[in-house]
C-alpha cells in the first residue's frame, strides 16, 4: 500500500487481504476489526473512551535498544531519519544482518495480528511511572520477534503515522466493490455500508460485520445511546436568490451559530456530550450536562445542537475563540464561571428509544420543541422561521446577523427531509455573513507544510501551506499559502503543536516544497476576497488575500472543505450589499 499513491491500487491490495479465508486467530475468533484498527493507526474509535497507546518516543527508543543496539545508536538513527518507524526498521535490519548479536529475547515464533494488537492494548492500559518498565519490556519483547518490515509499522503505529493511504472511505469502497457483482451493486453496497458507519462510527466493527454476515446485516445498525452519530452537514449556494427555487418554494431557516457542534446523549438524567469529532467532551461542559439533566423532558434522546459562549449578565452571543477556552482538563469550574454557555438545539435523532433519522424535518422539529422545558434560557431550540418569500429570507438573515450569529442554515420541509448522518446534501444549505470577506463562505483547510518566518516571526513559522480534500482521489491538494491573520497566540500554538515530518505525506499533493512538511492534522478556517485561477496549485485555483480566522480544534481532516466545493465558489464572490 505504501508504495503506491493510486487509490484503485490501494483498494485492490486491501481487497486481496480481505479475500483470505484464514482471518481468524488461534482461538478461531475473527480478526477483521483488528486489521482495520491497525490500518487506521488506532486501537479503538475515539468515542469508546478506552486508553490509547500514547507511548513516549523515549520509551519506545529504550525498548528497541533492549533488543540489541546501544541507545546512542538508536538516537543517531532516529536523528538521521526523523521517523520512529523507519528507525525501527533500519535497526532491526542491522540486528538481523548481525545475527550473532545478543538480544534480550530469542524466539523464532511468528508474530500474529492478534498478538500485536493485544500487546498494544496491554501497553495502553498500563499507567503511572511504575508502569514504564512494563511498557518497555512488553514492547521490547514484541520487537525482538519482528522482521524489519514489521518493526517499521509497529514504530509507525506508536508514532501515529501509518501513512498507508487507507482512509476510512477508501476501505469502505474497497469492501463494497469486493462484495459486488457489478458497478450498480458497488454503488448500492457503498451507500449501505457508509450509512451503517455514519450511524455507528466504528469501522472495525462495521467492516467485520459486513464481511462475516453480508450486506443485509448493515441495515441492522440503528442509533444507539452512547454511540455518536456522524453529523449531517450542509451545502452552499452562491446567491440568496437561489434558495427558494432549490428548496421548492418554501423552507425553514435557522440561526447558524458560531459555537461548538455538540451531540447530546441522555437517558434517565445520565448525560454524555460528544464533539463533532466524536470525542467525549462532557467534563469540559459540566454546565451543559446540568442543563440537559434539568431541562430536557424526554426519558431518552440523542440531540444535535451547538454550544455557544454568552456574555455574563447580558446573554449576548460571544465568538467561538472565547468558547474554546472551555476545552481544558484543569480549571474547568473557574472557566465555567468566566465563560458561561447556552445550548441551542436544532435536531433530534433518537427519542424515547425510537430512531428519528427517517422522520421528516418538521416532525423532528416539533418533537424537539416538546422535549425542552420552557421558561429557562440555558438550553433552547434554535430560532427558526418558515420562509416563503425572498424578502422574508433577507429580513431573517439580517436579524440573525444582528443577533451575533454567522448567518442562516436553511432546511427542506419536504416529506423527504430526513436526517442524513455524515452526508453533505441539499436538504440543508447555509448562507453565512460576508463581513469577513467577499467569498460566500469561509473555507476549512489542513496545514501540510510550513516556512520559517522573518523579522518578528524569526524562529517561528511564518507562512503556512494549506490544502483541501479531493473526495474523488482521497488526496489532500494544495490550495494556497497563508500568513495573514496569524497573531501571536496562533503563532505560538502552531509552533508548539505542528508535528514536522521529513518527507511529503503520501496523501498530499503540492506544487511547492515548504521548509518543513507537517503531519496533516491541524485545521484552519480561512477567508479571502475571491477564488482566482492559479497554475501554481494542484486544483488550478487559489484564494486571493487569504486570512486566518481561527484554528479549528473541533474539526478533523474529514471535515475540511473539498476541492469541488472550492470550485463551486469560484463564480460566487459578491459583496455584503448584494442582500
Handedness of CA 21, 26, 30, 35 (dihedral sign): negative
Sheet containing strand 233-236, edge to edge, reads 233-236, 424-432, 407-412, 251-256, 384-387
Residue that is written with C-alpha cell 457489478 in the block: 182
Going along 206-339, which residue ranges are E strands? Answer: 233-236, 251-256, 260-267, 270-275, 300-309
State in Å, rounded, how far the first CA of the chain is from the last one: 50
Separation of alpha carbons 437 and 534, rounded Å: 20
Going by the DSSP 8-state scheme, the letter that residue 558 receives in this structure is G
Residues annotated as catalytic are 256
The C-alpha cell of 61 is what? 527508543
Pairing of strands 270-275, 260-267: antiparallel
Among left, alpha and beta (phi > 0; psi -120 to 50; other), residue 95 is: alpha
Dmax over CA atoms of the chain, in Å, equals 84
DSSP string, 75-133: HHHHHHH--HHHHHHHHHHHHHHTTTS--S----PPP-HHHHHHHHHHHHH--STTHHH
Give 3-state DSSP helix, strand, coil % of the chain, rounded to 5.
40, 20, 40
H-helix or E-strand spanning residue 411: strand 407-412
Q: How far is CA 499 from the centre of its chain?
A: 17
If you compute the radius of gyration of the chain from its CA atoms, what whole number of angstroms results? 25
Separation of alpha carbons 85 and 82, rounded Å: 9
Separation of alpha carbons 395 and 55, rounded Å: 55
Q: Is residue 479 within 8 Å of residue 469, measured between CB atoms?
A: no
Amino acid at each position: 500500500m505504501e508504495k503506491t499513491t493510486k487509490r484503485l491500487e490501494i483498494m485492490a491490495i486491501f481487497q486481496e487481504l480481505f479475500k483470505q479465508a484464514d482471518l481468524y486467530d488461534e482461538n478461531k475468533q475473527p480478526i477483521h476489526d483488528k486489521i482495520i484498527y491497525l490500518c487506521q493507526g488506532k486501537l479503538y474509535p475515539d468515542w469508546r473512551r478506552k486508553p490509547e497507546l500514547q507511548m513516549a518516543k523515549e520509551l519506545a527508543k529504550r525498548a528497541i535498544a533492549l533488543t540489541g543496539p546501544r541507545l546512542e545508536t538508536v538516537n543517531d538513527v532516529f536523528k538521521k531519519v526523523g521517523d520512529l518507524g523507519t528507525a525501527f526498521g533500519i535497526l532491526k535490519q542491522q540486528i538481523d544482518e548481525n545475527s550473532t548479536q545478543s538480544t534480550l529475547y530469542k524466539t523464532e515464533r511468528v508474530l500474529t495480528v492478534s498478538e500485536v494488537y493485544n500487546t498494544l492494548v496491554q501497553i495502553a492500559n498500563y499507567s503511572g511511572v511504575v508502569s514504564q518498565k512494563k511498557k518497555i519490556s512488553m514492547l521490547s519483547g514484541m520487537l525482538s520477534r519482528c522482521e524489519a518490515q514489521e518493526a517499521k509499522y509497529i514504530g509507525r503505529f506508536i508514532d501515529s503515522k501509518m501513512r498507508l493511504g487507507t482512509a476510512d472511505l477508501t476501505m469502505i469502497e474497497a469492501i463494497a466493490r469486493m462484495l459486488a457483482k457489478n458497478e450498480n451493486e458497488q454503488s448500492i453496497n457503498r451507500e449501505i455500508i457508509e450509512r451503517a458507519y455514519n450511524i455507528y462510527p466504528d469501522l472495525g466493527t462495521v467492516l467485520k460485520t459486513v464481511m462475516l454476515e453480508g450486506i443485509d446485516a448493515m441495515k441492522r445498525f440503528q442509533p444507539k445511546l452512547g454511540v455518536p452519530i456522524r453529523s449531517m452537514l450542509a451545502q452552499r449556494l452562491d446567491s440568496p436568490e437561489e434558495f427558494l427555487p432549490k428548496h421548492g418554494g418554501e423552507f425553514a431557516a435557522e440561526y447558524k451559530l458560531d459555537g461548538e457542534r455538540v451531540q447530546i446523549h441522555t437517558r434517565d438524567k445520565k448525560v454524555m456530550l460528544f464533539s463533532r469529532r466524536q470525542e467525549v467532551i462532557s467534563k469540559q461542559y459540566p454546565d451543559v450536562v446540568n442543563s440537559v439533566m434539568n431541562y430536557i423532558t424526554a426519558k431518552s434522546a440523542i440531540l444535535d445542537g451547538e454550544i455557544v459562549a454568552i456574555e455574563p449578565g447580558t446573554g449576548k452571543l460571544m465568538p467561538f475563540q472565547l468558547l474554546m477556552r472551555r476545552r481544558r482538563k484543569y480549571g474547568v469550574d473557574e472557566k465555567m464561571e468566566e465563560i458561561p454557555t447556552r445550548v441551542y438545539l436544532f435536531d433530534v435523532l433518537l427519542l424515547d428509544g425510537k430512531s428519528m433519522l427517517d422522520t421528516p424535518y418538521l416532525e423532528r422539529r416539533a418533537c424537539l420543541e416538546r422535549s425542552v422545558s420552557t421558561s429557562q434560557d440555558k438550553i433552547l431550540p434554535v430560532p427558526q422561521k418558515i420562509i416563503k418569500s425572498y424578502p422574508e429570507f433577507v429580513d431573517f438573515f439580517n436579524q440573525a446577523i444582528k443577533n451575533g450569529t454567522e448567518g442562516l442554515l436553511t432546511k427542506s420541509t419536504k416529506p423527504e427531509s430526513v436526517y442524513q448522518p455524515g452526508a453533505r446534501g441539499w436538504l440543508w444549505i447555509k448562507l453565512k455573513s460576508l463581513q469577513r470577506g467577499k467569498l460566500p463562505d469561509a473555507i476549512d483547510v489542513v496545514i501540510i507544510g510550513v516556512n520559517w518566518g522573518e523579522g518578528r516571526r524569526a524562529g517561528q513559522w511564518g507562512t503556512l501551506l494549506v490544502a483541501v480534500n479531493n473526495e474523488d482521489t482521497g488526496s489532500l491538494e494544495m490550495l494556497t499559502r497563508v500568513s495573514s491573520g496569524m497573531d501571536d497566540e496562533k503563532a505560538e500554538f502552531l509552533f508548539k503543536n505542528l508535528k514536522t515530518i521529513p518527507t511529503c505525506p503520501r496523501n498530499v499533493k503540492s506544487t511547492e516544497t515548504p521548509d518543513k512538511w507537517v503531519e496533516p492534522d491541524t485545521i484552519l478556517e480561512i477567508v479571502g476576497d475571491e477564488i482566482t485561477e492559479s497554475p501554481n496549485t494542484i486544483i488550478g485555483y487559489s484564494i486571493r488575500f487569504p486570512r486566518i480566522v481561527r484554528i479549528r480544534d473541533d474539526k478533523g481532516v474529514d471535515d475540511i472543505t473539498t476541492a469541488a466545493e472550492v470550485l463551486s465558489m469560484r463564480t460566487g464572490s459578491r459583496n455584503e450589499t448584494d442582500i
